[in-house]
Amino acid sequence: MASEIERIINLKVERLENIPDAFASRMVAIQRAKFSEIISLLDELDYSAGNIVVNQANLLRIEQIVEQAKDLLTTGEFETVVGELLQEFDDQAAITYRYFDEAFAGFEVPTIANEILAQKKRESVVDLLNSTDQYLSNPVRQALSNAVTSGASRKDVIDVFRLLIEGDADTVGRLERATRQIVSDTFALSDRAVTNAVAEQLDVKWYRYVGGLMDTTRPFCKARNGKYFSKAEVESWGSEDWDGKMAGTDSKTIFVTAGGYNCQHSILPVAESAVPNRFKENA
């Protein structure tokens, strides 16, 4: 049983990192595939000697081009990828339930856990759609407005669009960066929220802080990774301050927010019998 529990834990941890990365990679592919189509929208503008004409017709076309660009990136394949992402939320919850089934006798999935999962999935979709406005539509609108009102060249506008959408050697595209962060946070928050809902039903008293360590892992997580803590100890972290702490973190929400923004660790409930004695003695 112990080896199966560790296998499930490792799977949960790996997916917290791999699923956001896979989604971001798909987003990069979509952006590159759609870039030429987005650039072709500039053909709707009036030009003179390669420069955009400063006229009312071009000003009126700005919003139309912005909406068309947004549609190109958020329909079709994007919708398919988002649908696959939501299935990953379900799969992660199923893995969590398998863990509890192995680690706790008589486990049954509480209804509230599935309701929380559904809510987190809805939040993820809303956040992703909102990100296209903040990190794509708004910057593209501003770039177009600046270009049209100044009579910039078509080449200059293409260069700005390329930086916004595809990025360059030093900067990833804005939408890629935003969606990677959003998926990383919403996926991990959903995983921890479902886990915590089950833990509350089981009245768990002990937890294990689990996850991988990367160059970007913050000291808060490094100091706790792999160790066991009583529920009271975990609750006490909510009153501490650290870089990256998520807004609204307190003694109750710490089980969901964990190390904060972009944290891919889990505060995993464990049976008291699985806790090494040295941790019990220090609690």
What are the tens digits of pLDDT across the range 135-150?
888 888 999 999 999 9
pLDDT-derived band at 161 (thresholds 50, 70, 90) equals confident
Whose CA is closest to 91, among 187, 4, 165? 187
Cβ atoms of 30 and 132 within 8 Å: the answer is no
pLDDT recorded at residue 4: 92
- Joined together, the tokens standing for residue 29 give 């592919």
- For residue 80, pLDDT over 90 is answered with yes
- Domain ranges in the chain are 2-203, 205-283
pLDDT-derived band at 2 (thresholds 50, 70, 90) equals low
Q: Averaging pLDDT over each range in 97-111, 127-141, 162-176, which range is the top one?
A: 97-111
The pairing of beta strand 51-52 with beta strand 206-210: unpaired
Alpha-carbon span 102 to 244, nearest angstrom: 33
- Work out the percent of the chain whose per-residue pLDDT is above 70: 96
Helices 111-132 and 174-202 pack at an angle, to 10 degrees, of 170
pLDDT-derived band at 171 (thresholds 50, 70, 90) equals low
Mean pLDDT for the stretch of residues 76-102: 95
- How many CB atoms lie under 10 A from the CB of residue 166? 17
Residue carrying the six token digits 């893995």: 95
Q: Residues, the chain, total?
A: 283
Alpha-carbon span 161 to 175, nearest angstrom: 12
pTM of the predicted model, to two decimals?
Answer: 0.88
- Work out the percent of the chain whose per-residue pLDDT is above 90: 71
pLDDT-derived band at 255 (thresholds 50, 70, 90) equals very high
CA distances from 194 to 4, 110, 113, 116, 245 (A): 20, 10, 5, 6, 20
pLDDT averaged over the chain?
A: 91
- Joined together, the tokens standing for residue 159 give 């260069």
- For residue 1, pLDDT over 70 is answered with no
- For residue 86, pLDDT over 90 is answered with yes
Alpha-carbon span 135 to 7, nearest angstrom: 38
Cβ atoms of 269 and 206 within 8 Å: the answer is yes
Mean pLDDT for the stretch of residues 11-36: 89
Mean pLDDT for the stretch of residues 244-251: 95
Cβ atoms of 120 and 128 within 8 Å: the answer is no
pLDDT recorded at residue 126: 93
